[in-house]
Structure 1
Amino acid sequence: MIEAAMIWNEPNNKSHWDPELDPDWSRFAEMAMLAADAIAQVNPDVTKVLGGISPIDPAFIERMKAFGVLDHVDAVGVHGFPLDWNLWQIDEWPDKLAEIGAVTELPIWVSEVGISTFGAEEIQIWGLKRTAQLLIGHATRVQWYSLYDLPAAWGATTRHREAEGSSYYRHFHMGLLREDGSPKPALKEFAELAPQMGLVQWFHFEDPRLNDAVSWMKRLGVTQLRTGLSWADSFRPDALAWFDRQLEALGDFALTVTFCFTPEHRGLMPHHTSPPLVPDEFAGFCAAMIERYAPYVRPGPYDPHLPKT
């Protein structure tokens, strides 16, 4: 069910990895390498992607290279939201890809890109079209964030100041569907871009939108999907039953699964952005999920009587 495993989400984003606990990212680098090796040991065919970075920062990639992380992964991810958070313009996308390409020869995945409808729904239509023009064919993979708006009742936390792009209220309006499931105008435009452009949709624990999301994605012609499995959620009662249901429902898509979120009781501090007390435990979670949902299928013995393909 899983073709690619992404190791963490936005590790250079202070709202997703606590910089006070790991100011030089050395703890993250150790954890990422352990996780990548654990995944490869279980199934060497799964593509290992360094968690999509936000902001797009070549210095961070160079730091990961210096730690040796890039020797353990197959691709690097970048995330960009130039109309909502980033302090650069949408037409700078080619330059941003070139900045990362200058410091690594690994394939570059734009594993999260999106436009909010906070200001006007028409902006999302224009932004989607322009994003497709700038990225499709120029990045190894492009994945649009997201299918659904976030429910307004959900909390959202950020460590960023407004001047750093912390307009986080926009985060609730990134979907192609509104919170009530009704389509926005950009949905029709996205349907014309799938499957060239994949989709990102996170599901919270026992998310009631799961089945409707699958129906919508099939209707849209989505083939590539990025989602997540939470290490923190794995300690909830009946966690495996939920993971099983989620992965079974998503089994018709080429899945990139992001592994992230530290359980409060296993972090240096009780927060999901904390480095783990024991980084091998995160690696063990990644390996267990790959073993369960993407077990390695060994090629059969060579048979000279079979026709060549």
Structure 2
Amino acid sequence: MIDSVMLWNEPNNKSHWAFEEDPEWAAFAEMTIQASRAIRAENPALVQVLGGISPIDPQFMLNMAGKGALAELDAVAVHGFPLDWNHWQIHEWPDKLKEIQAVTDLPVWVSEVGVSTFGAEEVQVFGLKRTAELLLGRAPRIHWYSLYDLPRAWPATTRHKEAEGSAYYRHFYMGLLREDGSPKLALPDFPQYTPEMGICQWFHFEDHRLDDAVQWLRDLGVKHLRTGLSWADYYRPNALAWFDRQMQALEGFHVTVTFCFTPEDKGIIPHHTSPPRDPREFADFCAAMIRRYAPGQTMHGVPRAEPAPALDQA
């Protein structure tokens, strides 16, 4: 079911990469190169994608190209939320894609695009329709963010939390479904755009929404799903049991799995956004996940059927 892998998430966004510890992104580039090579050694058929960038910044892509990271990959990705956070208007989407297409020959995915219902659900109805008009046919893969609202009891993964004012609270209203699973106004329109438009839905550790989400995705006609497997979560008790359950539930979809989040004890600083002290450990995690959930072929044409050895769960 895994047809592609994404290396990290929003690496040029301080909420996801502590670039004060890596101001030129040299550590990020080296980590990406090592992870890409480790994944390709396990399954060369997988499409490998640079973590979707936010903001959309051609200079960041040039930096990654200059450091050799893009040479290892098959695609790049961007994220855009012009009705909520970005300092550009929704009709500029084609130009934003062209900015990245001008600096790389790799395909440009839109791995997150969405509209919050923070102010009114009608805004999301408009935003979905206009996004589809502007992006379908212009990007090889588009993932709407997201299926569910973020539960208010969970924190949003962002920089300054409540200090961001309404920008922070918009994170909790990005779903086509409310937290309780009831549909919003835009939900009935979404099947007009599937299967060309996929969905990005992050599942938290032992997420209670998993089974209901799978049924909704099927009902909506979704074929392409982007989700994540957290390196930090890999060290929780029963992590592999949860990963197994999640990936088994997602059979039948074309899954883009995102590998990200540094375990606190493996970072330069104790935070999930930190560059790892040893990038090889992230590469080993990625390779282990591919062996377990998307095994490729050995040089003799025999599938790699052995499960990945579990890391120390202590």
Tell me, yes or no, whether TM beats 0.5.
yes
Counterpart Cα distance in 1 of 2:284 and 2:157: 28
TM-score, with structure 2 as normaliser: 0.93
One-letter code of the match for 1:258? T
One-letter code of the match for 2:104? T
Residue 236 of structure 1: aligned partner: 236
Counterpart Cα distance in 2 of 1:24 and 1:111: 24
Counterpart Cα distance in 2 of 1:162 and 1:101: 35
Residue 219 of structure 2: aligned partner: 219
Alignment of 1:286-301 (within 5 A): 286-297=286-297
Residue 177 of structure 1: aligned partner: 177
- RMSD between aligned residues: 1.8
Residue 99 of structure 1: aligned partner: 99
Residue 273 of structure 1: aligned partner: 273
What is the number of equivalent residue pairs in this alignment?
301
Residue 201 of structure 1: aligned partner: 201
One-letter code of the match for 1:71? A
Residue 80 of structure 2: aligned partner: 80
Counterpart Cα distance in 1 of 2:179 and 2:165: 24
One-letter code of the match for 2:231? W
Q: CA deviation at 1:20?
A: 1.2
TM-score, with structure 1 as normaliser: 0.94
Q: CA deviation at 1:17?
A: 0.2
Residue 40 of structure 1: aligned partner: 40
Counterpart Cα distance in 2 of 1:213 and 1:161: 27
Counterpart Cα distance in 2 of 1:244 and 1:99: 39
Residue 156, structure 1, aligned to residue 151, structure 2? no
Render the CA deviation track for 1:52-98: whole Å, top value 9, x for unaligned.
Answer: 00000000000000001010000001000000000000000011000
Q: CA deviation at 1:166?
A: 7.8
Alignment of 1:13-28 (within 5 A): 13-28=13-28
The answer to whether the Cα contact below 8 Å between 2:34 and 2:280 also exists between their aligned partners in 1 is yes
Counterpart Cα distance in 1 of 2:102 and 2:164: 25
Q: CA deviation at 1:159?
A: 2.9
Q: CA deviation at 1:181?
A: 0.3
Q: CA deviation at 1:104?
A: 0.1
Residue 122 of structure 1: aligned partner: 122
Quickly say closer, same or farther: Cα 1:24–1:212, change in 2 above 3 A. Answer: same
Counterpart Cα distance in 2 of 1:165 and 1:17: 22
Residue 59 of structure 1: aligned partner: 59
One-letter code of the match for 2:267? G
Quickly say closer, same or farther: Cα 1:157–1:251, change in 2 above 3 A. Answer: closer
| Gaps in structure 1 of 5+ consecutive residues | 302-309
Q: CA deviation at 1:162?
A: 10
Counterpart Cα distance in 2 of 1:274 and 1:166: 26
Residue 305 of structure 2: aligned partner: none
> What SS class does the counterpart of residue 149 from structure 1 fall into?
coil
One-letter code of the match for 2:240? L
> What SS class does the counterpart of residue 184 from structure 1 fall into?
coil
Residue 31, structure 1, aligned to residue 27, structure 2? no
Quickly say closer, same or farther: Cα 1:146–1:219, change in 2 above 3 A. Answer: same
Quickly say closer, same or farther: Cα 1:163–1:63, change in 2 above 3 A. Answer: farther
The answer to whether the Cα contact below 8 Å between 1:75 and 1:109 also exists between their aligned partners in 2 is yes
Residue 304 of structure 1: aligned partner: none
> What SS class does the counterpart of residue 296 from structure 1 fall into?
coil
Q: CA deviation at 1:160?
A: 6.0
Quickly say closer, same or farther: Cα 1:183–1:161, change in 2 above 3 A. Answer: closer
Counterpart Cα distance in 1 of 2:261 and 2:124: 29
Q: CA deviation at 1:168?
A: 1.8
The answer to whether the Cα contact below 8 Å between 1:18 and 1:275 also exists between their aligned partners in 2 is yes
> What SS class does the counterpart of residue 228 from structure 1 fall into?
strand
Q: CA deviation at 1:156?
A: 2.5
Counterpart Cα distance in 2 of 1:33 and 1:300: 26
One-letter code of the match for 1:172? F
One-letter code of the match for 1:62? L
Q: CA deviation at 1:292?
A: 0.5
Alignment of 1:110-149 (within 5 A): 110-149=110-149
